[in-house]
Amino acid sequence: MKKLLILVFMAFSFGAYAQEIEPKYEKEGDKVKATYFHTNGEISQQGYFLNEKLEGQWKMFDKEGEKIAMGNYTNGMKTGKWLFWEGDSVKEVDFDNNRIAAVTDTKNKKPVVVNK
């Protein structure tokens, strides 16, 4: 568990804030579902670990609970298309081997519907 906590703090240092609310970890099959919270109680990030590495879909939320980013990890590396929301702008970032391969920035007057 100590290694997992160290990995989490390193992996999310870009968006880490001092938290008064303890993260929540739940075992789901072979994976561990991790949920992190803002100081106001809203979820800040949620996703899975497999063998102490980020795995599968991760979602990030602002302090009001609005989704700000979503993408996938495979064996601890960002993979495929990630979406980043900011106001009426949506950035689609394609990752290849944990590196940015392409970025598409769009203005969107209609909200993109993605399940929480």
pLDDT digits (tens, 9 = 90+) for 35-79: 999 999 999 999 999 999 999 999 999 999 999 999 999 999 999
Query: What does the pLDDT average to over 21-38?
Result: 96
Dihedrals phi, psi of 25, to nearest 5 degrees:
-120, 130
| HEC secondary structure over 94-107 | EEECCEEEEEEEEE
- pLDDT of amino acid 115: 55
All structural domains of the chain = 2-107 (2.20.110)
Range in 18-22, 43-47, 110-114 with the lowest mean pLDDT: 110-114
Which band of pLDDT confidence, cut at 50, 70 and 90, is reported for residue 88? Answer: confident
